[in-house]
Amino acid sequence: MQENTSHHIAHVLIEALPYIKKFKGKTVVGKFGGNAMIDDELKHSFARDIVLMKLVGINPIIVHGGGPQIGKLLDRLNISTQFIDGMRVTNSETMDVVEMVLGGQVNKEIVSLLNLHGGKAIGLTGKDGDFIHARKINLKRLSAEHQASEIIDLGHVGEVSSIDPSVVDMLCNSDFIPVIAPIGVGEDGHSYNINADLVAGKIAEVLKAEKLLLLTNTAGILDKDKNLMTGLSISDIDDLIADGTIEGGMIPKTQCATDALKGGVSSVHIIDGRVDHAVLLELFTNQGVGTLLVSR
């Protein structure tokens, strides 16, 4: 029994070796969210994965969300919140809470976890070093009453207009692991809450990352029979959206993935954050635990 275990450990290490050699010195951007951010065991396993990546010479960058944590604090403060097409309407009062939760509570928890497991993490928002510039999103949709387009003001909800990667680049090329809260600053000087997938994708594009990892609460992209599809191209994604196989919340995630691929990222992985050590399994084994997307 002991001999079988030893052989298995040796096999795992040998299987990982070519991947470690291939990705050494490369940048990998990971979006941390879903169950992996809530379950204690998964949080620790994610942190160990990221620290190991750094120790073997890969440069990980973490971008995180925090929707459930924001919702909890808003409830405790009796601040009502409204969602339109999946986006939180964010007035000034709500934005103060978003900054407290994303830039403070959640960001520092992830930094502490990485440091606990032997990393040297530094937490940032897009306001630090003025590195994420945002523009306000106004939602356009058809008015039921007038059958005409109406513009809905979502408040402090934005999208990335540009990224100055110099601060993150400096941290990456040192011993530090950047942990980024998806808050940008507009030309008006106001803070804007930006979807974490979009921020991760844009940072990966600007840094020409080797990989973008998007952690989800599903096994990856599933076909109509709920079977995992492991390897897809940009044209495959377009077809799967057109025929309704990819739907709901997976649409913006896959669109973020295809934008990153078109922007020069080598590959995107949509992986199951509910699996222990999902990041290492996806990066360093032949099997992986999700869907791999490439440009062709």
Question: So what's the pLDDT on residue 61?
Answer: 96
**Length of the chain (residues):** 296
Which residues on neighbouring strands pair with residue 30, listed in sequence order? 62, 213
Question: So what's the pLDDT on residue 257?
Answer: 92
Q: Give residue 187's Cα distance to chain centre.
A: 25
Question: So what's the pLDDT on residue 38?
Answer: 80
* Domains detected in the chain: 23-294 (3.40.1160.10)
Which residues on neighbouring strands pair with residue 272, listed in sequence order? 216
Instruction: Tell me the pairing of strands 59-64 and 121-125.
Output: unpaired
Digits of tens for pLDDT over the chain (296 positions)?
455 667 777 877 888 899 999 999 999 999 998 767 788 888 999 999 999 999 999 999 999 998 888 889 999 999 888 887 777 888 889 899 999 999 999 999 999 999 999 999 999 999 998 999 999 987 776 555 555 566 777 888 889 999 999 999 899 888 899 999 999 999 988 999 999 999 999 999 999 999 999 998 888 898 888 888 888 999 999 899 988 888 887 888 888 999 999 999 999 999 988 888 889 888 888 777 889 999 87
Backbone angles phi, psi at 93, to 5 degrees: -65, -45
Give the DSSP H or E segment for 44.
helix 40-55
Question: So what's the pLDDT on residue 96?
Answer: 92
Terminal C-alpha separation, the chain? 44
Question: So what's the pLDDT on residue 4?
Answer: 63
Question: So what's the pLDDT on residue 139?
Answer: 76
pLDDT tens digits, 145-162: 555 566 777 888 889 999
Question: So what's the pLDDT on residue 148?
Answer: 57
User: For the chain, what percent of residues have pLDDT higher than 70?
Assistant: 94
Cα 166 to Cα 130: distance, rounded to the nearest angstrom:
10
Question: So what's the pLDDT on residue 3?
Answer: 56
Taking CA atoms, 127 is separated from 107, 164, 188, 192, in Å, by 14, 11, 13, 10
**101, amino acid identity:** V
pTM of the model: 0.90
Tokens 């298995």 locate to 8
